[in-house]
Structure 1
Amino acid sequence: MIKADSVSIEQCAKLLKDRRLTIAFAESATGGVLTSTYAKLPNAGTFLKGGIVCYDAKLKEELLGVPKGLIDQYSPESKEVTQEMAVLLKNLIDADVLVAVTGLLSAGGSESAEKPVGTMFYSIALGDKVMNCRELFKGTPDAIVSQTIEQIGKTITKTLINHQPSKNIVN
């Protein structure tokens, strides 16, 4: 599992804290590990607003408000659904940076030749922009989650470094 002393996670947290930005997570495949990783960092209360776990597609619909038609069309583990999760999270948690993650940790979901096990989707909503990412990781479910969290930390950091401050999220 990811350690709270991960360089990419620490750097991300420092940028959030230094810029007085807050972050929130909507997690599916990572099952709360992403939020937990950030919660273990020093001074997490200054930047972490919280997170929700919506592993089941029904929770994506009922809790976040992701349209059932979007889930049916693209699957719960898709760029389109993940992006909608990130944008809609703003309705539940008022944070500057909104991150959503879905993916396939093991067989039995929506995997296919184009979307094999290990495919992870994450979206980062910041200001009026949403960045969508797709990664393919190998290994056990724990290894895939760890790699995903590391990559999300790196991507948020890069996004924050390149971002011109703005407080508006478009729904």
Structure 2
Amino acid sequence: MTTSTSRPMHTAAARLVARLRAAGLTIGLAESLTGGALTSALVEVPGASAVVRGGVVAYATDVKHGVLGVPAGLLDEHGPVHPDVALAMARGICFVLASDVGVATTGVAGPGPADGRPAGVVYVAAYAAGRGVVRELRLAGTRPLVRSATTAAALALALATVDDVA
């Protein structure tokens, strides 16, 4: 059976689902530039329903605030592409979905700049057990490549976060 997810991405998603199951943890996803690709990668894994609470595609800035609880002042001061916004999204999705782990993506996939940031500037964040981590990525390539690399980075960060709290 062929899926839309590449083999390395599917392997990473399967490892994350297995690790979440083993640790008895759930995950929620808050996505902006990945537009649901991260959630899709996880739900392609058989048994994902035991650990995936859901995902929110907060592509618009007002959705980041209204649904995920990203502070309006933070968005006004820095815009939607900022490490603190990514962390607030990850923390917010834990609250919205009552998940143990929250993972978020925000950035500029391109082809040109947006919100004062050049294409390829991306932030992925994870939040669990009262702690959060954000990673900044500087990616090159086409819009699909930036989105795919962001999804892979978010899966890796999520796995590291689960390993830290489990």
Q: How does 1:147-158 map to 2 (within 5 A)?
A: 147-158=149-160
Name the aligned partner's letter for residue 109 of structure 1. A
Deviation at 1:108, TM superposition (A): 4.2
Q: Does structure 1 retain, via aligned residues, the 8 Å contact 2:80–2:106?
A: yes
Alignment match of 1:101 (pick from 101, 105, 113): 105
How many equivalent pairs are there? 161
TM-score (norm 1): 0.87
Q: How does 1:45-64 map to 2 (within 5 A)?
A: 45-64=49-68
Alignment match of 1:89 (pick from 70, 88, 93): 93
Matched, 1:110 2:115: yes
* Counterpart in the other structure of 2:6: 3
Name the aligned partner's letter for residue 121 of structure 1. Y
Name the aligned partner's letter for residue 17 of structure 1. R
Identity of aligned residues (%): 27
* Counterpart in the other structure of 1:168: none
Q: 1:2 to 1:120 in 2, by over 3 A?
A: farther
Q: 1:148 to 1:58 in 2, by over 3 A?
A: same
Deviation at 1:164, TM superposition (A): 3.9
SS at 1:6 equivalent: helix
SS at 2:59 equivalent: coil
2: CA distance, partners of 1:81 / 1:60 = 8
Q: Does structure 1 retain, via aligned residues, the 8 Å contact 2:113–2:119?
A: no
Q: Which structure has greater helix proportion? A: 2
Please, which runs of 5 or more residues in structure 1 have no aligned partner? 166-171
Query: CA-atom RMSD, angstroms?
Result: 1.6
